[in-house]
Amino acid sequence: MKNIPLTPDTEALARRLVWFEEPTEALSDTFRFVAYALARATHEDMKVVRAYLTDDDIRDALDHAPAGIIDPRSWAYWNVKMGRYPAPPMPTRKFE
């Protein structure tokens, strides 16, 4: 998975999508950041993300999405958009 660089556009996006931490921290875990984007980003926001990531990167992010970030509707949408129908099961938390 490629890293998404810190630019004025990605910084602004990170501040809105992952408001509870600094943009550098939010962008440091690409899988997690993309999960927040898939759940919360607007079409315009996704244009910024998609400038750095391919469809394969998005599929990879879905495969490694942390549990509890992407809602069921967004999960279904992005999996279908990436050519995966039916969508695989959503990530779940594992308690040991």
Cβ neighbours, 10 Å, residue 30 = 19
Tell me the pLDDT tens digit for each residue of 25-42: 999 999 999 999 999 999
CB 56 within 8 A of CB 87: no
**Cα separation, 70 vs 8, whole angstroms:** 25
- Give the whole-angstrom CA distance, residue 41 versus residue 86: 23
- State the average pLDDT over residues 50-66: 97
Q: What is the mean pLDDT of residues 52-70?
A: 97
- Among all chains, which residue has been given the structure tokens 């501040």? 15
pTM of the shown model: 0.94
Residue 46 has pLDDT above 90, yes or no: yes
Residue 19's pLDDT is 97
Alpha-carbon distance of 34 to 96, in angstroms, equals: 26
So where are the chain's domains?
8-81
Reply yes or no on whether the pLDDT at 92 is more than 80.
yes
Tell me the residue type at 42: T
pLDDT value for 96: 77
pLDDT band at 1 (very low <50, low <70, confident <90, very high): confident
- Predicted local distance difference test score (pLDDT) of residue 94: 84
Other CB atoms within 10 Å distance of the CB of residue 55: 11
What is the distance between the terminal CA atoms of the chain, rounded to a whole angstrom?
28
